[in-house]
Amino acid sequence: MPLDARSTTVRVPKAGELIAASLRRQIITGELEAGEPLPNEAALMDHFGVSRPTLREAFRILESEGVITVLRGARGGARVQAPDGSTAARYTGLLLQYRGVALADVYRARTELEVAAVGSIAADPDGRVDRLHEVVESGEALFDDPRAFASYTTEVARVIMELGGNETLAILASMLLDIMEAHNALFLSTRTEAERPGAAVALRANRKLVQLLRSGEPGAAETFWRRHLDSVERYMTGDSETTLIEVLS
C-alpha cells in the first residue's frame, strides 16, 4: 500500500505528559479527591519508574491546568484541587485578545446564551423561578455598594444559566462572565457616581423577568431579556471599538 506523500511524523508524548495524563484521569474520575494530597515524590517516582525532574514536569503541567497546587519547601507537596473553570477562562480571554475581539462581541455571545436559558426556564418553570426570585431579591440590599451590586448582577446571570439546565452552555457562559467582571471593575473605576448604571433599573429588569417567567409567557420573557441585555451592552460598550486587550491586560 503506497504511503501518503504528506508528512507522517508522529509526536510521541514525553514521560512527564503521560504521568500527568494518568494523574489527571484519577482526579477527574474522583479516585483522587479535591483537597487530598498526592503521594510523596519518592513514592510517585517509584510507582511510575521515573526521575524527579520528569515527575516535576508532570506536576508543572497539572498545576498549569489548575487541578493541583504544589507547595515548595520541607513541608511542601502536591495537593488535588477541583477544576473551577478559571484556567479555561484565562485561556479563552487570551485567545480572544490575540484575535482582537471587540468587547461588544463578548456581550452579544452572552446575550445569545442567556436568552436561550431563559427560554428553557420558561418552558419548565416549576421550582426554578423560585430559585431565581431568591437571588434577584438579594440585590436590593446592595444599592449603596456599586462593586457588590455589579457582582450581584453577574450572579443573577450565572444562576439563569445554571437554571437553564445545560451544563456545557453554563460553563461557556461562566467564562464570558469572568471576562465581563473584569470589564465591570474597569468601568466602575473610571466613572463618577453619577455616571454609573442605576442599580434600581437593573433590579426592576430582574424582577420583570421573574414576573414574566411566573406568568407563563416564554416568548415575552425571552424578548424582554434580549432587549434588556442589548441595552446593557450599549451602555457598557457604547460605540467604542474597545477590544479585550484593553480590558484584560
Note the pLDDT tens digit of each residue in 89-118.
Answer: 778 888 888 888 888 898 999 999 999 999
- Specify the pLDDT at position 54: 94
The mean pLDDT of 220-249, rounded to a whole number, is 77
How much of the chain, in percent, has pLDDT values that exceed 70?
Answer: 87
Last residue of a domain, one of 80, 105, 120: 80
Ranges of beta strands (E only) in 37-185 are 68-71, 77-80
Q: Are residues 152 and 214 in the same domain?
A: yes
Residues 149-175: b if buried by 16+ CB within 10 A, e if exposed: bbebbbebbbbbbbbbeeeebbebbbb
- For residues 201 and 92, membership in a common domain is answered with yes
Considering only residues 82 and 7, tell me which one the structure prediction assigns the higher pLDDT.
82
Question: What's the structural domain count of the chain?
Answer: 2
User: In terms of domains, do 47 and 64 share one?
Assistant: yes
Query: Does residue 139 sit in helix, strand or coil?
Result: coil
Which neighbouring-strand residues pair with 37? 79
CATH number at residue 186: 1.20.120.530
Q: What is the pLDDT, as a whole number, of residue 244?
A: 54
Question: Does residue 49 lie in a domain region?
Answer: yes
Domain that holds residue 22: 15-80
Does pLDDT of 189 surpass 80?
no
What's the chain's average pLDDT? 85
